[in-house]
């Protein structure tokens, strides 16, 4: 089973896009994408320096455009494909069983899975990047990578300093985010056995500080038409595979201010039986994580066009439709874990709802609250669901993004997934 992944902000490096301009049609596609993004993506991707492409409003459109340009080349070229020039069209143009993106890479993954058009992805990423940049300018915030240490001790230290575990990428790799003053206090009181590395980013992405950006992206998303995915499409919120375009769009909007759980995405890859991963450019980060977390899984970091032949070979060897006639036409949806995780909206103390049960819950049913410094935050499901398993008890301390309860949407099968 083969999955194609798209990296997130921070993966970009000066000049990474230059080799791809040699592929026929890529320059034309990037020109059109630049108009939609409101910036010269060709210049930034070829001659822009590190400071220029670190700008959130530039980096995010550049990453999505680059991933889609390479996907178009991987699909066999740009001639006659629907959508914008140079973009992959329908999911059949890019052969894969599944797709996933890290942070802003989720927009590229959504295009590969057929949920939205490439032009809408570029329109959304323009709003997303600009809105997150504006939110970052409202208060001095930042991010610090925490490498090593006991995970529970690291999460407890992050919560103690009023920070958020904005990225939980893999075992031993968590990114703390929040106010600069709180990060300084965290640096002075690090978790035992952990190394801290401040990141050169503009703000505390995937935390409550991005709430204004959520509102802006939600407004833009209201104009976007979506369809249900034709590939298994994993979500950063909890690693689950989404089965409707509507749910995917709701999730990627909310994800701007919620932690990225790439560790859970890789857990789902293992559950699905993924045997090969191709990472779109600027590649290297996600395949590096998979190398440690998914031993035995073939990985290809697609950095330059001369690797396209190797990518096609990997597809030929690992695409599930070539390996089993028993897979469904939806490229593996029969193997999708159908449960979902409800996670903590903030760090604090979890309080169970009155009369806590395992009954079907409605869209607005109270699943409890998280009591934090700023008050109480409600916990609720976004869809009707049956509770499978509570993962916390009343009075437990929780971190933002921590799984609280495992639920099964109507028609799902709890046996198809496993708790993490």
Q: Which residues are catalytic?
A: 103, 206
Cross-strand partners of 4 = 99, 278
Kindly state the tokens that stand for 298: 């073939």
Q: Whole-angstrom distance between the N-terminal and C-terminal Cα of the chain?
A: 21
- 224, 120 contact by CB (below 8 A): yes
Under DSSP, is residue 280 helix (H, G, I), strand (E, B) or coil?
A: coil
DSSP states of 16-33: TTGGGGGSTTHHHHHHHH
DSSP states of 339-357: -EEEE-SSSEEEEPPTT--
How crowded is residue 411: how many other Cβ atoms within 10 Å of its Cβ? Answer: 7
- 204, 188 contact by CB (below 8 A): no
Backbone dihedral region of 184: left (phi > 0), alpha (psi from -120 to 50 degrees) or beta?
Answer: alpha
Q: How far is CA 27 from CA 46, 57, 72, in A?
A: 12, 21, 12
Q: What is the C-alpha separation between 325 and 336, in angstroms, rounded?
A: 17
By the 10 Å C-beta count (0-12 exposed, 13-18 middle, 19+ buried), 148 is classed as middle
How crowded is residue 56: how many other Cβ atoms within 10 Å of its Cβ? Answer: 24
- 225, 231 contact by CB (below 8 A): no
- 281, 66 contact by CB (below 8 A): yes
Handedness of CA 94, 95, 101, 107 (dihedral sign): positive
Radius of gyration of the chain (CA): 20
Q: Which of 274, 249, 241, 266 is nearest to 413 (CA)?
A: 241
């Amino acid at each position: 089973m083969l999955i194609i992944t798209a990296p997130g902000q921070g993966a970009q490096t000066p000049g990474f896009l230059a080799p791809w301009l040699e592929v026929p049609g890529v320059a034309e596609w990037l020109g059109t994408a630049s108009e939609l993004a409101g910036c010269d993506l060709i210049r930034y991707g070829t001659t822009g320096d590190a400071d220029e492409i670190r700008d959130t409003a530039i980096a995010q459109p550049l990453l999505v455009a680059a991933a889609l340009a390479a996907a178009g080349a991987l699909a066999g070229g740009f001639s006659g494909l629907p959508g914008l020039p140079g973009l992959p069209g329908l999911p059949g143009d890019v052969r894969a069983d599944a797709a996933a993106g890290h942070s802003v890479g989720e927009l590229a993954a959504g295009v590969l899975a057929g949920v939205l058009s490439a032009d809408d992805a570029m329109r959304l990423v323009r709003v997303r990047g600009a809105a997150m940049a504006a939110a970052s300018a409202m208060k001095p915030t930042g991010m610090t990578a925490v490498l090593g240490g006991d995970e529970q001790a690291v999460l407890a230290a992050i919560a103690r300093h009023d920070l958020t575990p904005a990225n939980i990428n893999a075992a031993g790799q968590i990114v703390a985010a929040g106010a600069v003053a709180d990060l300084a206090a965290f640096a002075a009181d690090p978790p035992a056995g952990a190394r801290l590395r401040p990141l050169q980013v503009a703000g505390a992405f995937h935390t409550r500080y991005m709430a204004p950006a959520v509102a802006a992206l939600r407004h833009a998303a209201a104009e976007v038409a979506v369809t249900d995915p034709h590939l298994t499409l994993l979500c950063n919120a909890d690693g689950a595979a989404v089965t409707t375009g509507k749910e995917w769009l709701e999730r990627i909007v909310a994800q701007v201010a919620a932690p990225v759980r790439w560790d859970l995405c890789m857990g789902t890859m293992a559950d699905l039986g993924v045997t090969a991963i191709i990472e779109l450019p600027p590649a290297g980060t996600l395949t590096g994580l998979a190398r440690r977390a998914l031993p035995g899984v073939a990985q290809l970091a697609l950095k330059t066009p001369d690797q396209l032949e190797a990518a096609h070979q990997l597809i030929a060897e690992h695409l599930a439709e070539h390996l089993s006639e028993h897979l469904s036409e939806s490229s593996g949806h029969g193997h999708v874990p159908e449960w979902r995780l409800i996670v903590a909206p903030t760090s604090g103390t979890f309080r169970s709802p009155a009369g806590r049960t395992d009954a079907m819950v409605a869209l607005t049913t109270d699943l409890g609250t998280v009591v934090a410094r700023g008050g109480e935050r409600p916990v609720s499901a976004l869809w009707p669901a049956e509770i499978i398993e509570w993962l916390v008890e009343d009075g437990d301390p929780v971190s933002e993004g921590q799984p609280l309860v495992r639920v099964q949407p109507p028609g799902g099968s709890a046996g198809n997934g496993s708790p993490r």
